[in-house]
Amino acid sequence: MTQHEKFKILSEKFAEITDLRAASSVLYWDQNTYMPPQGAEARGRQMATLSKVAHEKVTNAQIEKLFSDLEGYEKDLPYESHDASFLRLARREYELATKVPADFIAKMVQHFSVSYEAWIRAKGESNFKLIEPFLEKSVDLSLQYSEFFPHKHILDPLIAEQDYGFTAESITNIFSELRSELVPFAKDIISTKKTDFEFLNKKYPKKNQQLFVEKILTEIGYDFSRGRLDLTHHPFMISFALGDIRITNRYDENNFNDSVFGAIHELGHAFYELGNAKELDGNILFGGTSAGVHESQSRLWENMVGRSIDFWQYFYKDFQMLFPEQLKNVSLKTFYAGINNVTPSLIRTESDEVTYNLHVMIRFNLEKQLLEGKLKVKELPEAWNACYLSDLGVKVPDDSHGCLQDVHWYAGLVGGSFQGYTLGNLMSAQFFDAASADLPNLNNDIKNGDFTQLQKWLIENIYCHGKKFTGPEVLKKATKKDLNIANYMNYLKRKFPIK
């Protein structure tokens, strides 16, 4: 058998694994959208079964033999080639999977499914006690999972799951550098006199919010022949194949920001995977390479495009037409200032661009303390509330607005799931600056509702690669720079000048 034939067999085996994971993702999407609550236990079992089968396929002895046989073939391949990238990622997945027993994977998946349903109840009743035993088990499972791998810090294997190439130490360092500049900058802005934007506190009927969201998604370029928009408790994007990439949203009649910018955020995630090269579809190279790069695209579209004055010069009249009473006598200038108002808040997903990363850093530090054993699960609400008072100056009224607001710790591993948001913010500024340098008419394009050139640049420089390269590699290829805080802080200072 030739090397090429062996590579084809290995590719086919990982294609089967990809299909199993996609099937599990369909079940997850259904659980988060239309599944009746009583289906949670069975759904957890079903997803656990699929995960176990996929895990067993990855760790099959024949795959180990194929990797061994293809070592010489891999060494002769150009680093950037499809085959070399496939083998790098496949080998990494195999080495990770062989360290974790299939039964443990199944146990984790089933627990997280049941925990998710418990979180929905706990958040609805604003009662942390309802989720406490589930979170204790999640922390324990997360610790056990990390111990399967060699590591310098207990968080390292969990971070590698989402942002390969980063460690607890490297993230702590860059967060420290960012915090040293961000905290005084945020305090200077917040201390200046603020306007009371009354239009933000009015009621915006759900039906018209939905109409506007569908309009902007369509005009920005979301392909509904390859995607859907559905309702959920916590918005997310999920992909099953290049022709089936879905987003979800939620609507609050007292807060249109949540639905409008939440939808654009998830659209950014969808654009990433919709822009993958066709040859990646159906194999492990399809998708986004890391949480940080994925988040860079959602934040780029949500903030640098969606919250820009250029964007609203095009869309504001349409928004006013849908809400004539709420926005009567509200100028574009006032509206723009209102949606970008910097003020400390309780909810991460609703926070402004300046304070957003403080929310992320709080979560990163708390999960680090939970895993290090410095913080007990039962102490989490009190510790959370103390951080919000000290870092953001806000008092948390209840658990729903506090440590229960995000789903991450209650539906997956505890650790490694939040740093990607801030890494994404930093990367988004670098990507947008690079795109702007190559597209001198970008601002005018956005003013005229033309997003095609920006999408084309992002596809050619980021999206087309899928998972062929690591996050740091994609960033360096597209921007010619390593990760830094300078581009992001310069962006914030331009947008929010201190008077």
Structure tokens at 331: 């100028």
Tokens 């607005």 map to which residue?
A: 401
Residue carrying structure tokens 């905290």: 183
Distance from the first to the final alpha carbon of the chain: 71
* Rounded Cα distance, 83 and 4, in Å: 10
Q: Which residues are annotated as a binding site for Zn(2+)?
A: 265, 269, 295
Sheet holding 244-249, edge to edge: 229-231, 244-249, 237-241
Instruction: List the catalytic residue out of 117, 161, 266, 302.
Output: 266
> Is residue 266 annotated as a catalytic residue, yes or no?
yes
* Residues belonging to the chain: 499
Q: How many other C-beta atoms can be found within 10 angstroms of the C-beta atom of residue 380?
A: 24
Cα dihedral sign, 78-79-82-86: positive
Residue type, 475: L
Q: Which tokens go with 438?
A: 């190559």
Pairwise CA distance, residues 133 & 463, whole Å: 40
Residue in this structure with the two tokens 């080639």, named with its chain if needed: 81
Among 159, 126, 128, which Cα is nearest to 142's?
Answer: 159
What whole-number distance in Å separates Cα of residue 139 and Cα of residue 145?
Answer: 10
Alpha carbon distance 205, 319 (integer Å): 12
Annotation: binding site: 265, 269, 295
What are the catalytic residues?
266
